[in-house]
Structures are given as C-alpha cells and as structure tokens.
Amino acid sequence: MKKKVLLTGFDPFGGESINPSWETVKQLHGETINEILIIAEQVPTVFHQSALVLKKAIQQHCPDVVICVGQAGGRPHITPERIAINIDDARIPDNDGQKPIDEQISDHAPNAYWSSLPIKRIVKQMREHGIPASISNSAGTFVCNHLFYQLMHFIDRSQSMIKGGFIHIPFLPEQTTDKNEPSLSLDIMINGLRIAAVTAASHDIDIRESGGSLC
C-alpha cells in the first residue's frame, strides 16, 4: 500500500528573498520512493493563517505523515524538533504584520506536544548519509513553533493516526554570501528531507498494524 507524506515550506520572511524550506520541499513534490509519495505545499509565514492552509492541505491529501519545514538561520545542522509549545512570542512581525507577545496558541490545550516523528532515527539516517543533523529541543516561539503546535494539536483533537512533526533547516549558501553564518546546499537539504520522509513513513509501517486516517 502506498503511503503519502505531506511536506510544507514557508514563504520568505525577515528580509530574506527566498525561504530554504519552500525551495527544498518543492523539489520533492510528486516524487515517489519505495511506494512513498511526497507532496509539497507552501504555507504563509503568518500566525494562524499558516495553520488554516495546513489543515486544508491535510484534508485534501490525507497524508500518513506530515512534516512541516522551516528556516533556522544560524544553525549549521538539519534539526528535527522534539517539542512544540503552546505560545506565540514574536520578536519581529510575521508576514501579515502580527507580533503576538506571550499569547497562548490554543486555550484548554496542553502546554506542549511531542513530535510523533521518529526523530532519533531520522537524525541517525541523515548522519549515515553524511548529512549534518541533530535533535533540537526548541522550535522557538515564532511561526515555526506555531505551525508545529497547531499540527500536533489538530492531530490530537482529530484522533488521527497521522505522524507529524517539524524540521528546521539552515540557510542556503546563497543567503549567506555576505553574512558570516553557516549554510547547507539545496542538494543536501533535499536529500535530508527525503530521508526524513522515507524514515517517518517506513517507521510508521514497522510499528503499527493499521493506520487510521482522516479520510
């Protein structure tokens, strides 16, 4: 049986003209590996709006795995995130001018959700393929964490069997030509996210008999 992995990437923000997350995931759109189909969707770098677009995409595609991807400028590694926290706290405005300070994302909801991706296995697989990777314990408090939290909250509330999580990726080299920051090439990012998608979808197969689904 074919599995579906939905990858999302953001549009550019914070003065950058590209966003490596969208640049990367769009390259994987439509690819099928080991019976796993990858679908890519763009989401806006906007609190709440990003989550609405994500939910619509989930309802449309009925994926088995959802991996949201975002830029973490300054990190040298691809970093699967461990945990999403129930707070918006922005230092800069999102692409819609919103700048929430210490606001809960969702009332009557848990303080935090764990990623349900096999993050350690993903990191291990990436490293075995020569890709710099490590676990991150914080997705920040901007739109990346917001979307991650909303994803996990949606999965939780809908009692879905979808596996979900978030992966931060570094700048692309062309974003750092004149700033002294680490970067990774598009090829490496594409390969890293392909590994993440396949590892998450396969892991899923390994550990459960049958997957429930929203659709």
Q: Which residues bind its own copies (CB under 8 A)?
A: 76-77, 82-83, 85, 87, 89, 102, 110-114, 120, 126-127, 130-135, 137-138, 140-141, 173-174, 176-178, 180-185, 187-188
62 an active-site residue? Answer: no
Greatest CA separation found in the chain? 51
CA gyration radius, the chain:
16
- Identity of the residue, 61 or 121, whose beta carbon is nearer to its own copies in the bound complex: 121
DSSP 95: T
- Identity of the residue, 13 or 142, whose beta carbon is nearer to its own copies in the bound complex: 142
Cα–Cα distance between 204 and 121 in angstroms, integer? 12
Catalytic residue among 23, 41, 144, 153: 144
Residue 87: phi and psi, rounded to 5, are: -160, 145
Task: Tell me the HSE value of 48 on the side-chain side, using a 13 A CA sphere.
Answer: 9
- Identity of the residue, 50 or 86, whose beta carbon is nearer to its own copies in the bound complex: 86
| Helix, strand, or coil (residue 83) | strand
Cα angle for residues 211, 214, 215 (degrees, 5° grid): 100
- Identity of the residue, 55 or 124, whose beta carbon is nearer to its own copies in the bound complex: 124
Measured from the CB of residue 186, what is the shortest distance to its own copies in angstroms?
9
129 an active-site residue? Answer: no
Catalytic residue among 81, 128, 146, 174: 81
31 an active-site residue? Answer: no
Measured from the CB of residue 209, what is the shortest distance to its own copies in angstroms?
23
The encoded tokens of residue 51 equal 């989550």
Q: Which residues are catalytic?
A: 81, 144, 168
